[in-house]
Amino acid sequence: MRSKKALWNMLSSLSLQFVSVVCGLILPRLLIRTFGSDVNGMAASVTQFLSYIILFEAGVGGVVRAALYKPLADGDHARISGILRASDRFFRRVAFVFVGYAAAVAVLYPLLVRKDFEFLFTCTLVLIIALSTFFQYYFGMSRQILVQADQRRYVASNLQIVTILLNTALAVVLIRLGCSIHAVKLGTALVYALRPFVLRLYVRRHYAPDTHAEPDETAIAQRWDGFGHHTAYFLHTNTDVFVLTVFSAFSNAVRISDVSVYTVYYAIVAGIEKVVSAFSSGIEAAFGNMIAREETETLRRNFRVYEFFSFTLVTTLFTCTGLLLQPFLSVYMHGVSDAEYMRPLFGVLLTAAEAVYCIRIPYNNVTLAAGHYRQTRGGAFLEAGINVALSVALVVPMGLSGVALATLAAMTVRTVQYAHYLSRHILRRPFSVFLGRCAVNACASALAVLCCSFLPQGTPDGYLSWALRAVPVFLICGGWTLLLNSLFYRHDLQGLWTVFRNNKKKRRV
């Protein structure tokens, strides 16, 4: 049953990421062509500033998910209801705090961009963008955590696919009709506000939680231990835009249009990261179930297969991304001249940072599935400190490349810490296993880059031309990565094939 749910989660997450990547490429270009890079950069910056409210979660989401694994495995309905009630109370408080925070941003943020935009224009846009976040926290957050913990992430993923498609279609129609950026963002807010209500109905029907149960506050007792992990993830996704926005107001080295450049690059690279994450969707819940049932040997065996697959996938996809990013952007941003979008060094550094982040996903998933928040929070705070300090120090002399380099350094430190902790305290195996995988895949990536340097170069004249270039690049990168990993980790490849074959048999049955 675990394998079947994990498969459904993976397939729905892959579909979600495909839809997210495609729609995420359609809308930014349309917004840039219609409203300009400055407006697109400002809107992206506002969204990032409003997302800072997740710091008030204090890591509760991951802690609640970990707390739910055991009662879900045991079918303890009373405890599930108690945890859900405590989670509801907490997130509703966060929603009300968000109202005050959004009001403060609506007043203060326009002062940062006052040289480019009028106060009322920016203030009203902030309040419009804030709507969907409020509804998500007040009505939907606890339900989303519940279905994820029960290995039913596919429910939330499928619902998200529908809302993304609706939002994209509505935004395209509004832009074609000549509507303002405020009208476009209001349409987006209303579409995304529907999702928590639908998810709430699903949980009521399939879990029937006791709405009068006594809140189980012990379920969120580790929230401050999870705060460090939560903060680190928050800084991973938000520090760069924050630093660029602030320095655009006080330094001539950075402009608000640089935020637009950053978001275009990040949308592409993060799209690849989401594809990798999709393959891990539901895996944390499956490992959490193994840990709850104390199936230690099963955990070790399955983790090696998961680790093998993750390294192979990350190396292949991100090596291809590093080689194909600039040619793709030359086609994607053709005709846009109000900002310089061709930044090769920045692209390489951002791609490397996201690759390192994806490498740590298996180690992060199993560590947190075991509930080891307190033991690993030191590394989370260290990562956050490195990211902020280096971003501030490097943004003026290096611009976009500086903040990307800071993110890469922080990601590397935290990934090593996670791998070391998991090896020593949960899997109880030599740390050199992780270092060996890194060395093998680094060699595979280097050999692929060397071979691709002999392919015909030049600027593609369209998407078809770019796609024809991408095919041999993908085959070379995938070929070298699979070859070296198969040579050094033959038993893991056999284990992966066994998992695939068993799942195929179950689907036939």
pLDDT beyond 90 at 445: yes
Can you tell me the distance from the alpha carbon of 78 to that of 71, in angstroms, rounded to the nearest whole number? 9
Two tokens, residue 378 = 């030191």
Q: Could you tell me the pLDDT band of residue 485, with boundaries at 50, 70 and 90?
A: very high
Three-state DSSP class for residue 114: coil
The model carries a pTM of 0.73
Region 222-241 average pLDDT: 65
Can you tell me the distance from the alpha carbon of 283 to that of 280, in angstroms, rounded to the nearest whole number? 5
- What percentage of the chain exceeds 90 in pLDDT? 23
CA dihedral 277, 205, 221, 386 (to 10 degrees): 20
26 close to 164: Cβ distance less than 8 angstroms: no
Q: Could you tell me the pLDDT band of residue 502, with boundaries at 50, 70 and 90?
A: low
Segment 59-108, tens digit of pLDDT: 566 677 777 777 877 777 788 888 888 887 888 888 888 888 889 989 98
- What percentage of the chain exceeds 70 in pLDDT? 86
pLDDT beyond 80 at 505: no
Q: For the packed helices 60-74 and 373-398, what is the interaxial angle rounded to 10 degrees? A: 150
Q: pLDDT value at position 508?
A: 47
Segment 212-221, tens digit of pLDDT: 777 776 666 6
Q: pLDDT value at position 232?
A: 65
Helix (H) or strand (E) holding 495: helix 490-508
Q: pLDDT value at position 115?
A: 74
Segment 124-152, tens digit of pLDDT: 999 998 888 888 777 767 777 777 777 67
Region 450-466 average pLDDT: 88
pLDDT beyond 60 at 504: no
Q: pLDDT value at position 345?
A: 93
pLDDT beyond 70 at 317: yes
Parse the chain into domains and list their residue ranges: 1-208, 225-502
pLDDT beyond 90 at 379: no
